[in-house]
Chain A
Amino acid sequence: MSGIAKRKLSNSVAMGISVLCAAIGLGLLFLILYDVVRHGLSSFGWTLFAKDPAPPGMAGGGLRSAILGQILLTAAALLAGVPTGVLAGTFLSEYGRSLKLSKIISAVSDMAVSIPSIVTGAFVYAILVKPFGGFNGWAGAAALAIIVLPVIVRTTESMTSMVPWSLREAAFALGAPYHRVIVGVVWRAAAGGIFTGVLLAAARAAGETAPLLFTSFNSGHFSLNMSRPVPSLTVTIYQYAASPYESWVALAWGAALAVTAAVLLLNVTGRVMIGLKQRR
C-alpha cells in the first residue's frame, strides 16, 4: 500500500472509532432512560402519587409521603442555600472583587461543588443528628443546602461579574448608593442567569441520596414533621430497590422515573434558558 493510501486508511479508521465512541455515549444515555421509563411506567399511576407504601410483601401502595418529603427537603434547602449563595456570590464580584480573600473563597467554593456528598452527609450527621438524638428533616435539608450553596455562589459570581461595569457607573452617576446599584441594576441584569443556576442547583439537590441517608433517613409513615425522619424518593429507591419484595422493587422503579423526570426537566429548562439568552 502506498504511503498516502495508508494514511487515508488510518484516518478513516480513527474517525470511525471516534464516531463509534460518540454513538456509545449517546446509546448509553438512551439505554438508561429507556430502562428507567420501561420499568417505571408499570408502577406509574395515580396511586403512586396518592398513596403511601404498602406493608412489605403486599401489592400496591404509592409514594405520596416520599414525593412530598422530597419536595419539602429540597425547598427547605433552597430557602437556606439560595439567599446565602446569592449574597456570597455578590460579595465576591462586587464589594470584595479586589480582595485576595475573595479569590480564595471563590476557589474554595469551586472545589466545594465537588465535595463527595457522602462526606457532607457524615458531617451533618455529626453536628445535627447525633447531638439531637435521631434522624430529622432539618438535618437532611441542611445537608442539601450545603450541596446547593457553592453552586449558587459560583453562578451568582459569574453572572454578576458579566454585567457591564458601565451599567453600574450609570447608576452611580445618578447618585445611587452601592447597595441600591446591586439590587436595582446588577441583580436585575443577572436575574435570568442566577435563576438558571437555582434550577440546576435544585436538580442537583433533588437527585441526591447519600447526604440524606444519614440525616433525614426515611419513614414508612406519612410524616412531614421536620424534626422527625422525613421520607424522600431517593432514599426510598435505595431501600426498596434492593429489597426482596416485588412490590417494593416496582415502587423503586416508579420513584426512579419520577426523580429522573424531575431532574432532567429542571436541567433541560435551565439549559434552554441559557440558550435563549445567548441567542438574543
Chain B
Amino acid sequence: MSLDHRLNFVFKALTFVAALSILGIVMGILIVILMESIPALDRFGVLGFLGGRDWNYSKEIYGALRPLVGTAISTGIALLVAVPLSLGTAVFLTEICPHRLRGAIGAAIELLAAIPSIIYGMWGLFVLAPFLDEHFQPLAGKVLGSVPLIGGFFLTRSAGGVNLFTASLVLAVMIIPFITSIARDAFSQVPDVLKESSYALGATRWETVKKVISASAATAVGGGVIIAMGRALGETMAVAYVIGNRHAGLDSLFSPYTTITSVIANEFNEAGGIQLSSLFTLALVLFIANFVALGIGRRLVKGKYQ
C-alpha cells in the first residue's frame, strides 16, 4: 500500500472514531444516569417515584410528583404566553414588515435566544419578580381571587414575587425566539402562488394568514412548539432563582414551588446517597422527556418540506 493510501486510511479511521464518539457520549449519558438512578428506583419503584408526593430529607423519602407538576405547569403557562406572541411576531416578520427591516428585526429577536439563561434568571429575580409582585399579583388576586374553586390559585400568599408564575413568564420570554424563528421559516416556505391566489379572490391579509398560510404551515409550527416545549422542560438557570424551590402542596400560582431542573440545581451539590440517586432519576426523566419531545417536534417540522 502506498503512503497516500495508508494516510487516507488513518484519516478515515480518525473521522469514523470521532463520529462514533457522539453516539458514545449520548449512550454514555443515558447509561450512566440510569445506573446512578437505580438505588432510588429500587427503593421507591418507577411508579412510586414518579407518583410520590414526599420530598422528605429526614425520612429519606423522595418522590417526583411535585417537581413533575411544577415543570408541567410552568411549561404549560410559558407556552400559553409565548405561542401567541411568537406567532404574531412571525406574521409580522413575513407578511407586514418592510423587506428592508425583516433581516434586522428577525436577527434581533433571535439574539434573545443567545442571551445566557443565567442572565434571564437574574433579570427575572431582580426586575420581573418585584414588578409582578407589586403590579400584577394584587390585580390578579382582586379580579380572579373570589372565583369559586380556582380563585385560591390567584391569591398571593408570600411576598417577593418568587413563585411559579414568575418562573413561567421567564420561561415564556426564553422560548419566544425559538417558536418565532421556526414559525417564520414555516410561513415563508408557503408558496407565494397560494398567497396570491387568496389575494386574487379578494381575501384580506388576515384571512390569508388565517385560512391559507396557517393551514399550510400548521404541522411545522406544531413541531416548533413541541421543540420549544422540550427547551422549556430542560431550562435550569432561568428557573432556579425565581421558582423558590419549595417542596409543599401547590396552593397558588403565586407561591414558591419546585421543578425538575430547579431541584437538581439547588440540591445536587449537597446531596448524597438516596437523595442524590433521586436527583439522577429526575435527570433521567428530563433526558427522556426532552428526547421524546424533540423527536416528535423534529419530525413535524421537517415532514412537510423535505
A248 contacts chain B at the CB level, 8 A cutoff: no
19 contacts between A and B (CB under 8 A): A14-B206, A18-B89, A19-B92, A21-B86, A24-B89, A25-B180, A88-B22, A105-B19, A108-B26, A115-B29, A117-B234, A122-B36, A126-B33, A177-B7, A178-B12, A210-B117, A238-B121, A259-B118, A268-B111
Which A residues lie at the B interface, using CB under 8 A?
7-8, 10-11, 14-15, 17-22, 24-26, 28-29, 31-32, 35-36, 39, 83-85, 87-88, 90-92, 94-96, 102, 104-105, 107-112, 114-120, 122-123, 125-127, 146, 149-150, 153, 177-180, 182, 203, 206-210, 213-214, 217, 234, 237-238, 241-242, 252-253, 256, 259-260, 263-264, 267-268, 271, 275
Measured CB to CB, the closest approach of chain A to B105, in angstroms, equals 7
Across-interface contacts of B23 in A (CB, < 8 A): 104-105, 108
Report yes or no: A112 in contact with B127, Cβ–Cβ below 8 A.
no
Interface segment out of the listed B50-58, B134-142, B248-256, B286-294: B286-294
Contact pattern, B 258-292, Cβ under 8 Å of A = 1, otherwise 0: 00010011001100000000011001001100110
Across-interface contacts of B8 in A (CB, < 8 A): 177-179
Report yes or no: A122 in contact with B15, Cβ–Cβ below 8 A.
no
Partner of B117, one of A120, A207, A214: A207
* CB-CB nearest in chain A for B237: A209
Across-interface contacts of B15 in A (CB, < 8 A): 87-88, 90-91, 94-96
Other A-B pairs beyond A87-B17, A118-B264, A119-B283, 15, CB < 8 Å:
A21-B84, A24-B85, A87-B18, A94-B15, A107-B298, A108-B26, A110-B298, A122-B264, A126-B33, A203-B114, A209-B116, A210-B265, A213-B265, A259-B118, A263-B114
* CB-CB nearest in chain B for A260: B119
Max chain B CB contacts within 10 Å: which of A127, A203, A206, A237?
A: A237
Across-interface contacts of A96 in B (CB, < 8 A): 15-16, 19
Contact pattern, B 1-21, Cβ under 8 Å of A = 1, otherwise 0: 000110110011011111111
Report yes or no: B105 in contact with A123, Cβ–Cβ below 8 A.
no
B125 contacts chain A at the CB level, 8 A cutoff: yes
3 closest residue pairs by CB, A with B:
A116-B234, A21-B88, A207-B116
Report yes or no: A207 in contact with B118, Cβ–Cβ below 8 A.
yes
Across-interface contacts of A19 in B (CB, < 8 A): 92, 96
Asked, given contacts A8-B204, A11-B207, whether A29 binds B112 with beta carbons under 8 Å apart, the answer is: yes
Across-interface contacts of B88 in A (CB, < 8 A): 17-18, 20-22
Report yes or no: B29 in contact with A32, Cβ–Cβ below 8 A.
no
Across-interface contacts of A90 in B (CB, < 8 A): 15
* CB-CB nearest in chain B for A94: B15
* CB-CB nearest in chain B for A182: B11
Asked, given contacts A119-B287, A126-B36, A209-B237, whether A32 binds B120 with beta carbons under 8 Å apart, the answer is: yes
Asked, given contacts A108-B23, A108-B26, whether A122 binds B268 with beta carbons under 8 Å apart, the answer is: yes
* CB-CB nearest in chain B for A240: B122
Across-interface contacts of A149 in B (CB, < 8 A): 21-22, 25
Across-interface contacts of A31 in B (CB, < 8 A): 127
Give bound CA distance, A19 to B280, whole Å: 44
Asked, given contacts A15-B206, A149-B25, whether A260 binds B85 with beta carbons under 8 Å apart, the answer is: no
Asked, given contacts A238-B237, A242-B241, whether A252 binds B122 with beta carbons under 8 Å apart, the answer is: yes
Report yes or no: A88 in contact with B21, Cβ–Cβ below 8 A.
yes
B109 contacts chain A at the CB level, 8 A cutoff: yes
Give bound CA distance, A2 to B142, whole Å: 40
Report yes or no: B91 in contact with A18, Cβ–Cβ below 8 A.
yes
Partner of A237, one of B26, B122, B209: B122
Report yes or no: A179 in contact with B97, Cβ–Cβ below 8 A.
no
* CB-CB nearest in chain B for A83: B18
* CB-CB nearest in chain A for B25: A146
Give bound CA distance, A256 to B125, whole Å: 13
Across-interface contacts of A252 in B (CB, < 8 A): 122
Across-interface contacts of B234 in A (CB, < 8 A): 114-119
Report yes or no: B119 in contact with A36, Cβ–Cβ below 8 A.
yes
Asked, given contacts A25-B89, A118-B283, whether A256 binds B122 with beta carbons under 8 Å apart, the answer is: yes
Across-interface contacts of A238 in B (CB, < 8 A): 118, 121, 237, 240
Give bound CA distance, A119 to B264, whole Å: 9
Measured CB to CB, the closest approach of chain B to A210, in angstroms, equals 4
Measured CB to CB, the closest approach of chain B to A102, in angstroms, equals 7
Asked, given contacts A11-B204, A112-B22, A119-B283, whether A267 binds B29 with beta carbons under 8 Å apart, the answer is: no
* CB-CB nearest in chain A for B27: A108
Give bound CA distance, A253 to B121, whole Å: 12
Report yes or no: A108 in contact with B207, Cβ–Cβ below 8 A.
no
Give bound CA distance, A176 to B109, whole Å: 46
Asked, given contacts A91-B19, A146-B25, whether A22 binds B105 with beta carbons under 8 Å apart, the answer is: yes
Measured CB to CB, the closest approach of chain A to B30, in angstroms, equals 9
Measured CB to CB, the closest approach of chain A to B10, in angstroms, equals 8
Asked, given contacts A18-B89, A95-B16, A208-B116, whether A180 binds B280 with beta carbons under 8 Å apart, the answer is: no
Across-interface contacts of B279 in A (CB, < 8 A): 122
